Amino acid sequence: MSIFTRQFASHFNSVFAYVTLILLLASIALVAFTQTASAGTSHNVSGFAWSENIGWISMNSNNDGGSDYGVAVAYDGAMSGYAWSENIGWISFNTADLSGCPNGTCSAQLDRPTGQVSGWARALSAVAAGVNSGGWDGWISLSGLDMGGMPYGVTVNGACSWTGWAWGSDVVGWINFNGGDGGTVSGVGYACTGAVPALAADQLPTVDVKADGFDGPITIGSAADYDISWSTTNVVPVQVGGAVVREAATAIAISGNYAYITVDSTAAGDNFEVYDISNPVIPVKVGGIDFLNPAFGAAGRGSVAIYGNYAYVISDNANAGNIRIIDISSPASPSLVGTLNNSTNYGLNGIVRDVTVSGSYLYVASQGFTSADADLIILNLSNPTNPTLESSRSAAGHAGYVTIDGNYAYLGLDPVDASTPTFEIWDISSKANPVRLSGINVGGSMNRVTDIEVRGNYAYLGRTFSGSGDTFTIVDISNRAAPSRVSGLSFGVNVFAVELSSDGRYAFVSRHGGGTGGVNTVDVSNPLVPVNLGVSNGTYNSVDMKISGSYAFSATRGTGDLSLEVFDLSFGCVASNGTAGWPGSKDALGGTETYNEVMINTYSYLLTCTNGDGEASDTVDVTIDPVPNLTADIGALAVSSTFDITTGYYDYLTINYNVRNTGSGEANNSVLRFNIDYDNDGTVDDVHDESISMLLPTSQTGSRSINFGSNVPPGNHSVEILVDADDNVAESNEDDNLFTRQLAIGYPDPGISLNTNPDRLVRAGSTIGLTWDLNGAGYIGSCNIEGPTLGGPQAVYSGGVPTSGTLGSVGPITSKSEFLLTCVAIDGISVFTDNAIIETTGIIEEL
């Protein structure tokens, strides 16, 4: 004390000079920081420290009944919150206020294993906006060396008493935590010495954004399609805090700012604990009760339901049907006010597995000892401490879970075999007479249903894992008389709790298995195709979980460690910049979107993904360049009018075209190609290229007509027209570069002839000759002549040469007669004819 006494004296004069200034700063600070200092009752440091210069410093509003404030210590020893001095105002322990401290580590920290406090606090009045503090910086050192080189500091002992000294420069001077002058500072929970329970390792998100599969930057032509894709990891909830429950937790319920946790323990001590969760990251135990029996029903799981000022807790696996009623009107001092069991005639002939409250009724799921025992029990809570039995019913199996939605109760059952029901729906519109509507086995396995969350037309089920089958199942309940499984996932561990996000997009699925527990996040925006986003690391197996605000509170089997784990549910990906359609929320697992931009510019596609551990961002740049785009107007395909009857070919094909540049950039010289396929057999028989000179944006060649090809045979032909065939122009769109035209060409009439010899007139009864001539056509396949006395068509030509001849001794001709020459071209389609008529002195005989 002699060191401190000497230093008090040496600073007395300078302190006196600050008195007026301090009072002014305190009044300003009260106005400036009242809103900032608002805090919850979860602050776990209380009492008063003393300064000879500024007087009492209050660590918690519970000390003086003022505005809600206080100093808190987290599970890992990190300090936060505010203390209050009537002379200098708010003193902050928040890391955000402590950057730029004089030396060392700035954050205020309790080393819980050793009890040593380190870092800094700061009087905010010294840095209030618009305040001239006369050079005082407001810093308060929680440990260090004094001017004589002697160590000082604040420490915490095994009894949770805070002792020692802090130094606040000339203005504040020494701050005494030792209990002298009538003040003491003490802590509870994490504000005491002890081992620091380990949180799960940080899960920092990652994000990778690509353009057309490249990290970028890329350059692409105006109006061209391009893909922006992204992939992520760890965009899921993360563990951010927790509490050390006395033993392994078995169940949790949340009401307002309090969490009610049941504990698996027969040893002396609370097995029902109440935690203040107004600061979700630092749950602080505020009360508890020991009602002698372990607070679980079966398989190490418990259940607790809240109705107003009462909690209904299942307990004692060994004794049938115990439900404890606990008065929680004072969270700091809960009290046992009733017990329900078989002896009290509540129909509890079995092991109570689950309880839930809806309206003014308590619904009980029970594992009956016989098939006649009730599995669904409904109790009236008009008198909360003395419920009355409304009804009890037997289900198709042991009931392990019950949830209520409107006028329906949904039961999870233990299957007798892989075909018996594991899920039942009951109509409870009449509480005195509930009616079973349906029951199905939701997975064809022995995986029992452990939790049910109902939202709209779907029920989301948690299930145990027996080696195969779903552990998370979605059931369509739109027809409650005939529910059906629509999808499911298996996580290879037991799932004892399922909670849905407020918007119904995500299901948060607790994990019990592998020792580390945690949470799976499932995107159920399409219930038919649930997508697992990943695992949020935990530290122990989870048996129950509830959501409050943006946090999930998981009850775990972590005996003596984090039996209550807290997960921050704030996660997601948000896009910004880029082009229209890109900004906004994006799928947390990844995705691809296609864009098409015309405006010449560089666009940065930025994606930021966050979770409770931090954030990650990535961006990719896409530059839109002016680029040409070639296309063409192609006219109809035609054939030349000249035809070589000897060879059977037309001279050429003809077509009109106009090549246009519809893009924003200059098009280099290019080639317009015509691929000719005679007979449409898929083979290119002839190629013709046209040179296209450079085209400025929006310019064109103008209409042009060309002749191409040679020796064009009759038949069905196609021509493929390809713009920029030499690929010499980098276009914005190459999908409009290809055109096809079809043309069917027949054979022309070669002028075949048929004549009689003698010509035109013959004496009746005479014979004649019929002279035929194909006019040299080389494409005739066959010819025949028909007429009187021929006895049917007479073949006169079957190809080759000669292409003329005479059919002699035709007759006798007794009357006027007509003869017909018919020739078929080699295509088997074109037909040519000619006729010849001869007259006699007798009767005319027509063909």
Residue 670: predicted pLDDT: 96
The per-residue pLDDT of the chain, averaged, comes to 88
Distances (CA, A) of 153 to 78, 109, 146, 497: 16, 12, 10, 46
Peptide bond into 758 cis (omega under 30): yes
Q: Label residue 681 by pLDDT band (50, 70, 90).
A: very high
Of 422, 430, 426, the C-alpha closest to 447 is: 422
- pLDDT of residue 36 exceeding 50, the answer is no
Residue 133's pLDDT band (cuts 50, 70, 90): low
Q: What share of the chain is helix, strand, coil (3-state, %, to 5)?
A: 5, 50, 45
Query: In the structure, what pLDDT confidence band is assigned to residue 361 with cuts at 50, 70 and 90?
Result: very high
What is the model's pLDDT at position 34? 36
Residues 428-472: pLDDT tens digits? 999 999 999 999 999 767 888 999 999 999 999 999 998 888 999
List phi, psi (to 5°) of 597. -115, 135
| 65 compared with 838, residue with greater pLDDT | 838
Distance between CA 361 and CA 354 in Å, rounded? Answer: 14
pLDDT-derived band at 582 (thresholds 50, 70, 90) equals: very high
Residue 125 has pLDDT above 70, yes or no: yes
Q: What is the pLDDT of residue 732?
A: 77
CA 391 to chain centre: 43
Residue 164 has pLDDT above 70, yes or no: yes
Q: Which domains does the chain have, with CATH numbers?
A: 2-191 (no CATH), 206-235+572-624 (2.60.40.10), 238-568 (2.130.10.10), 630-745 (2.60.40.10), 753-838 (2.60.40.10)
Which range, of 59-68, 414-423, 648-657, averages the lowest pLDDT? 59-68
What's the token pair of residue 560? 């003596």
The answer to whether residues 314 and 302 touch, using CB atoms and an 8 Å cutoff, is yes
Q: Is the pLDDT of residue 562 over 90?
A: no
- Top mean-pLDDT range of 130-144, 160-174, 486-500: 486-500
Relative orientation angle of helices 2-17 and 19-33, to the nearest 10 degrees:
80
| pLDDT tens digits, one per residue of 271-305 | 899 999 988 988 888 899 988 676 665 556 889 99
Residue 842 has pLDDT above 90, yes or no: no
Pairwise CA distance, residues 780 & 647, whole Å: 11
Rounded to whole angstroms, the Cα distance separating 156 from 189 reads: 12
Own/partner long-range contacts of 676-680 (Cβ < 8 Å, ≥24 apart): 676/708, 676/709, 676/717, 676/718, 676/719, 677/717, 677/718, 677/719, 677/720, 678/712, 678/713, 678/715, 678/717, 679/713, 679/715, 679/716, 679/717, 680/716, 680/717, 680/718, 680/742
Checking if the pLDDT of 5 tops 50, the result is no
Q: What is residue 731's predicted lDDT score, i.e. its pLDDT?
A: 85
Mean pLDDT of 784-798: 95
Q: What is the pLDDT, as a whole number, of residue 664?
A: 85
Q: What is the pLDDT of residues 74-104, one digit of tens each?
A: 878 999 999 999 999 999 999 989 999 999 9
pLDDT tens for each residue of 191-206: 999 888 778 889 999 9
Number of alpha carbons in the 13 Å side-chain half-sphere of residue 206:
5
Residue 17 has pLDDT above 60, yes or no: no
Summarize the confidence of residues 175-195 as an average pLDDT: 83
Q: Which of 623, 740, 753 is nearest to 677 (CA)?
A: 740
Residue 313 has pLDDT above 50, yes or no: yes
For residue 791, report the phi and psi dihedrals to the nearest 5 degrees.
65, 25
- The whole-angstrom separation of Cα 603 and Cα 581 is 13
Q: Percent of the chain, pLDDT > 90?
A: 65
Greatest Cα pair distance, the chain, in angstroms, is: 166
* pLDDT band at 30; cut points 50, 70, 90: very low
| Helices (runs of H) and strands (runs of E) counted in the chain | 3, 67
The span from the CA of 465 to the CA of 455, in Å, is 24
Average pLDDT over residues 752-778: 92
Tokens encoding 160: 């949770």
End-to-end CA distance of the chain: 147
**Between residues 344 and 662, which one has the greater pLDDT?**
662
User: Which residues does 182 contact at the CB level (< 8 Å), separation at least 6?
Assistant: 50
Q: Report the length, in residues, of the chain.
A: 847
pLDDT tens-digit readout, 709-743:
889 999 999 999 999 999 999 887 888 999 999 99
> 680 with 726: CB under 8 angstroms?
no
The confidence score (pLDDT) of residue 760 equals 82
pLDDT of residue 344: 59
